C-alpha cells in the first residue's frame, strides 16, 4: 500500500485528519516539514499552479521533493486545485503521489468527464485523485459578509452518488459552508452539518475540507470526528504567518544584511502555525 493510501486508511480508522499545507518557496516548505517532524505526524505538502507560475515547475517540485526525501516525517507531494488537465497530467508524470483535479467550475456532466479522464490516467500510475463537487468562493481579505458568499454552490446530495460512481475518484472536497481565504470574525460562516450528514449518508468516500484557514476550530474538529473529514487544507494562514514574521522583523528596526536571518524568522512562524493545525486535526489523539 502506498504511503498516501495508508495515510487515508489510518485517518479513517482512527477518526483524525492530516493536513495539506500549501507552499511556494523553500522556507515555507521547511516550516511544514519541521512541524510534521516535531509532531510525528504525516502531512501533504501542496503546490498550486500559481505557485509553479511564481517559482517554476522544476525548481519548486525538486525543492519540495528534496525536503520530503530528507525529512523524518511521512510527507507526500500533492497538487492542489489543478484546473488544467494537461498540467495535472504533467504532475502525475513527474512523480506526484496525489493530485487534485478541480473541474468544479463546470456543470456536473463536464466535471464528471474531466475528472474521470484524470482518474483513469492517474490510477494507471498508482496516483490518487481528489476532486471537488460544488463551488467554493474565495475571500480576498476582509470582505463584508454576503458578497463573495453568494457565489457559493454547496455540494448537492442529489449529485454526489453519481459523481463518485462515474468518476472513481479517491477523495472528494465537499462544499458545506467552507470558503477559501480569511474573513471578518463577525462574518464567519459555520459549516452546514445537516448537509454534511446528508452527504455522508450517500457515499463512503473520504471527504476533504478546503478553506481550513478560516473555518472555526470547533467546526473543524466536529467535521473530522463525526463526518469523515480525513484531510484539511491550509494555505492562507501559512501565508499570513510567513509575512507576519518578516513584517515584525522590519518593524522592530533591526538591521540584517543576510536574508537568511530574516527568512528563518518567517520559517519559524510557519512551523508554529502548522504545529497548531496538526494538533487541531488530531482531535483526541
Structure confidence at residue 254 (pLDDT): 78
Q: What is the mean pLDDT of residues 42-56?
A: 97
The Cα 104–Cα 10 span in angstroms is: 28
The Cα 228–Cα 65 span in angstroms is: 29
Enclosing domain of residue 109: 3-281
80 as an active site residue: the answer is: yes
In contact, 46 and 282? CB cutoff 8 Å? no
Q: State the number of CA atoms in the 13 A half-sphere of 163 facing the CB.
A: 31
The domain tally of the chain equals: 1
Would you state the cell numbers that stand for residue 271, as one nine-digit string?
512551523
Report the CATH number that the domain containing residue 39 is assigned in CATH.
3.20.20.70
The Cα 168–Cα 117 span in angstroms is: 10
The Cα 132–Cα 172 span in angstroms is: 6
Identified catalytic residue from 80, 192, 219, 235: 80
Helix (H, G, I), strand (E, B) or coil at 65: helix
32 C-beta neighbours (distance < 10 Å), count: 34
The Cα 215–Cα 206 span in angstroms is: 19
pLDDT over 80 (residue 71): yes
Structure confidence at residue 186 (pLDDT): 43
What is the CA angle 281-284-285, rounded to 5? Answer: 80
pLDDT over 70 (residue 138): no
Quote the pTM value: 0.91
Residues 196-245 have pLDDT tens digits of 999 999 999 999 999 888 788 999 999 999 999 999 999 999 999 999 98
Phi-psi map region of 95: left, alpha, beta (phi>0 left; psi -120 to 50 alpha) = left
Amino acid at each position: 500500500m502506498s504511503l498516501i493510501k495508508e495515510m487515508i486508511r489510518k485517518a479513517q480508522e482512527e477518526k483524525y485528519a492530516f493536513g495539506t499545507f500549501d507552499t511556494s518557496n523553500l522556507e515555507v516548505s521547511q516550516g511544514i516539514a519541521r512541524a510534521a517532524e516535531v509532531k510525528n505526524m504525516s502531512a501533504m505538502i501542496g503546490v498550486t499552479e500559481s505557485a509553479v507560475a511564481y517559482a517554476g515547475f522544476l525548481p519548486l517540485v525538486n525543492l519540495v521533493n528534496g525536503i520530503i526525501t530528507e525529512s523524518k516525517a511521512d510527507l507526500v507531494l500533492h497538487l492542489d486545485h489543478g484546473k488544467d488537465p494537461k498540467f495535472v497530467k504533467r504532475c502525475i508524470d513527474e512523480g506526484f503521489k496525489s493530485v487534485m483535479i478541480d473541474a468544479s467550475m463546470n456543470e456536473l456532466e463536464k466535471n464528471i468527464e474531466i475528472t474521470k479522464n484524470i482518474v483513469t490516467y492517474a490510477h494507471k500510475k498508482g496516483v490518487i485523485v481528489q476532486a471537488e463537487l460544488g463551488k467554493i468562493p474565495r475571500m480576498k481579505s476582509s470582505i463584508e459578509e454576503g458578497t463573495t458568499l453568494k457565489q457559493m454552490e454547496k455540494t448537492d446530495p442529489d449529485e454526489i452518488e453519481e459523481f463518485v460512481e462515474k468518476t472513481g475518484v479517491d477523495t472528494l472536497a465537499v462544499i458545506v459552508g467552507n470558503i477559501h481565504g480569511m474573513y471578518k470574525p463577525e462574518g464567519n460562516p459555520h459549516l452546514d452539518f445537516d448537509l454534511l450528514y446528508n452527504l455522508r449518508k450517500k457515499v463512503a468516500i473520504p471527504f476533504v475540507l478546503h478553506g481550513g484557514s478560516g473555518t472555526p476550530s470547533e467546526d473543524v474538529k466536529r467535521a473530522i470526528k463525526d463526518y469523515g473529514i480525513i484531510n484539511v487544507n491550509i494555505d492562507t494562514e501559512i501565508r499570513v504567518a510567513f509575512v507576519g514574521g518578516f513584517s515584525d522583523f522590519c518593524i522592530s528596526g533591526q538591521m540584517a544584511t543576510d536574508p537568511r536571518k530574516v527568512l528563518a524568522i518567517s520559517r519559524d512562524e510557519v512551523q508554529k502555525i502548522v504545529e497548531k493545525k496538526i494538533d487541531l486535526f488530531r482531535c483526541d489523539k
